[in-house]
Amino acid sequence: MALTGVEIFKLLPKTNCKKCGFPTCLAFAMKLAQRQATLDACPDVSEEAKQKLGAASAPPVRPIIMGTGEKAVKLGEETVLFRHDKRFVNPCVFALEIQDTLPDSEIDLKIKEVLDSEIDRVGQKLRIDAIALKNTSNDTGRFESLAKTVAAKAPEVPVIICATNPRSAETAAVVFSNKKPVIYGVNSENAEAMTGIAKTYKTALGIMAKGLDELANLTEKIKSLGVEDIIMDSGARKAKEILEHNTLIRRAAIKKNFKPLGYPVITFAQREDSLVESLIASIGVAKYSSIVVLSSIEKWKNLSLFTLRQNIYTDPQVPMQVEQKIYKIGEPNPESPLMITTNFSLTYFIVSGEIENSRVPGYLAVMDCEGLSVLTAWAAGKFTASKIAQFIKESGVESNIKHRELIIPGYVSILSGAIEDKLDGWKITVGPREANGLPAFLKSRAA
């Protein structure tokens, strides 16, 4: 069971030295109990207390790594029910199912789709993260052939080996040995055999249960057999069931610290209708699935699911920011225009994207406004005439350009006079209100 704040407090040094960033040991203990702080913030905690508190402060959803190298993904490690309580930690993984009954050409096509799925959105690389190989044929030779093809053509992509037949599972585990795959398909009949394979090849195990009670019993059984890296499938397939089971599982793990359900969840979203599949997948993304398996990965579907995932797994208390500096867009020369905006990531990527679209090279001065967008930063007093003037003076941009003209966003046109007063010899030009007006604006000036 989780320790209370007072129980944790009794194990702390009680010196109130503040090194942990909290005013007292009691305040730190309360935050630890709420899982809003981690024990490593206190440098003076004793080894004995570390052991006791370490177990108590372990995340209620076990962290598991799938795959190796740069494309390895981390699952679980979640500590809250709602992202506004703290944040969700490890983004849900999208996996494309490839069945071993497919012709070779289709298998190749699906592998290529996974490899080509990566996009860049506000500075983050987003992709279909994994392949779920399915032993639909129940034929071990056929499954081995699929495993070898995937291992050869997508060696860096993490895999989920979906097989209920232990021989098939082991054959694929051999192909992916040392690649940290997940073997999914453990049930009450094959649990001993599958656990043996997982221990030999050091894989995680995915349980395929029929309901939450059987799921909890199976995780306990697998754990008693010596495997602790477990992924859970409660058997939910309908939207309502997925939502209910995932919520009950997360609540049991977080609120009750119920260890038998303290593992990442896998959701199978496959549907014939791709739109329905996207909707099922989005329930998994929003409500606690650590892996969502898809049957197809059209670009439109990826884009919407990637965007949803990125938003849900962004820390709501920390706006996404880019570095304050003068960015060169294209290959600007000393006559090229100079524009200014704030350092909210989305603002930066939209504005710089539109400048690129204009094909007019320029300089974009990105000012640190603590990750706020232009209007919000202005309203909060962080994007003011004096701060803009100071930033431009200190940025060194004057040595890169011959002119002295600064283009400001149309939404803060009200600042133009005040900036001119503070930036001696500069002309302030009001640009378009929306970034999508920039291409026409810049082209008309360059004409």
**Both tokens assigned to 359:** 């094909």
Contacts of 275 (CB under 8 A, 6+ apart): none
Q: Which of 3, 11, 22, 173 binds ligand SF4 (CB under 6 A)?
A: 22
217/150 Cα distance (integer angstroms): 33
Q: How far is the CB of 37 from ligand SF4 (least distance, A)?
A: 9
Q: Contact region for ligand SF4 (CB under 6 A) — 16-24, 122-130, 343-351, 422-430? A: 16-24
Q: Contact region for ligand SF4 (CB under 6 A) — 22-30, 71-79, 203-211, 429-437? A: 22-30
Q: Which of 4, 6, 10, 19 binds ligand SF4 (CB under 6 A)?
A: 19
Q: 346 near 122, Cβ under 8 Å?
A: yes
Nearer to ligand SF4, 12 or 265 (CB): 12
Q: 445 near 431, Cβ under 8 Å?
A: no
Asked if residue 4 binds ligand SF4 (CB under 6 A), the reply is no
- Report which of 150, 152, 160, 169 is spatially closest to residue 130, judged by C-alpha positions: 160
Nearer to ligand SF4, 46 or 311 (CB): 46
Asked if residue 5 binds ligand SF4 (CB under 6 A), the reply is no
Q: Contact region for ligand SF4 (CB under 6 A) — 19-27, 161-169, 298-306, 379-387? A: 19-27
**H/E run at residue 75:** strand 73-75
Backbone angles phi, psi at 379, to 5 degrees: -65, -30
Q: How far is the CB of 6 from ligand SF4 (least distance, A)?
A: 14
Q: How far is the CB of 365 from ligand SF4 (least distance, A)?
A: 41
13/413 Cα distance (integer angstroms): 56
Nearer to ligand SF4, 20 or 98 (CB): 20
Backbone angles phi, psi at 248, to 5 degrees: -65, -40
Q: How far is the CB of 87 from ligand SF4 (least distance, A)?
A: 22
41/19 Cα distance (integer angstroms): 8
Contacts of 116 (CB under 8 A, 6+ apart): none
Angle subtended by helix axes 239-255 and 274-286, to nearest 10: 10
Give residue for tokens 């055999």: 193
Asked if residue 351 binds ligand SF4 (CB under 6 A), the reply is no
Q: Which of 25, 56, 204, 207 binds ligand SF4 (CB under 6 A)?
A: 25
Q: Contact region for ligand SF4 (CB under 6 A) — 12-20, 85-93, 223-231, 438-446? A: 12-20
Asked if residue 40 binds ligand SF4 (CB under 6 A), the reply is no
Maximum Cα–Cα distance across the chain: 81
Asked if residue 125 binds ligand SF4 (CB under 6 A), the reply is no
297/303 Cα distance (integer angstroms): 10
**Residue 312: half-sphere exposure toward Cβ, Cα within 13 Å:** 22
**H/E run at residue 185:** strand 182-186
**H/E run at residue 275:** helix 274-286
Nearer to ligand SF4, 17 or 279 (CB): 17
Nearer to ligand SF4, 5 or 235 (CB): 5
177/170 Cα distance (integer angstroms): 10
Nearer to ligand SF4, 18 or 403 (CB): 18
Asked if residue 11 binds ligand SF4 (CB under 6 A), the reply is no
Q: Contact region for ligand SF4 (CB under 6 A) — 21-29, 132-140, 189-197, 289-297? A: 21-29
Number of residues that bind ligand SF4 (CB under 6 A): 13
Q: How far is the CB of 32 from ligand SF4 (least distance, A)?
A: 9
Q: Which of 28, 201, 348, 441 binds ligand SF4 (CB under 6 A)?
A: 28
| Radius of gyration in angstroms for the set of CA atoms belonging to the chain, rounded to a whole number | 27
Asked if residue 304 binds ligand SF4 (CB under 6 A), the reply is no
Cα torsion 440, 443, 445, 447: sign: negative
Q: Contact region for ligand SF4 (CB under 6 A) — 13-21, 122-130, 163-171, 316-324? A: 13-21
Q: How far is the CB of 35 from ligand SF4 (least distance, A)?
A: 16
Binding site for ligand SF4 (CB under 6 A): 12-13, 15-20, 22, 25, 28, 42, 44
